[in-house]
Amino acid sequence: MKVSTRARRRSGALIASAAAGFIGVGLCATPASAHTPRWTVTCSEVTVDLKAYNDDVTNTVTITVDGKDLLPTKEFGSGFSETIKLPEHTAEAAVRLVVKAGDGDRFSHDETKSSPVCETTPPSQTPEPTPPPSETPKPEEPEPSETPSTEPPQSATPTPAPSTPGDLAETGGSSATPVIAGAAAVAVLAGGGILVVTRKRRAARG
């Protein structure tokens, strides 16, 4: 009976020790697996996501680009998540993330990643043609009209001027010649008549 009681006590102590050791190992392993530093880097930004850190201690995070502070040292508790825009760069930039866990250096994280240059579409070498300005149609100018000639058209054959009755052809006589001749004849007749009457009166007296 005494032997069996001692054996039971020993086996109980062994079980208790094993259980305590298992629990201790589990407690030590849990924080190590819980700290999750995740971060990504692109050509234009860096994203940091820190989870399951010990909230009972002071944790810090720092981000630098080519040695210059992008995110100055900042304290956080159980987690930290943020996306930060990177400055423009014409060559690959070195982005460094430093996480210091307050519950031990073994949970801290220090890593550097490269940020590539963002691809940009080069400007076209050939300038786009500029559309020509719209031309305003000019009003049509009237064609100059032909100025009528003031000179009468000349015919090839000269037209003779119409002759006036009584004109003498090619003699230079005017149309008044017959009138003058008639008047002279009347004067002669009148003179003759007067002479006859005078003679009759003289005869009657004698």
Kindly state the helix (H) or strand (E) to which residue 189 belongs, with its residue range: helix 177-205
The reported pLDDT for the residue numbered 31 is: 43
| Residue scoring higher pLDDT (156 or 200) | 200
The reported pLDDT for the residue numbered 30 is: 43
Global pTM exceeds 0.85: no
The length of the chain in residues reads: 206
| DSSP three-state, residue 46 | strand
Rounded Cα distance between 81 and 59, Å, is 13
The reported pLDDT for the residue numbered 82 is: 96
Domains and CATH numbers, the chain: 32-115 (2.60.40.3880)
Distances (CA, A) of 157 to 150, 151, 154, 160, 179: 20, 17, 8, 9, 36
The reported pLDDT for the residue numbered 169 is: 47
Q: Is the pLDDT of residue 157 over 60?
A: no
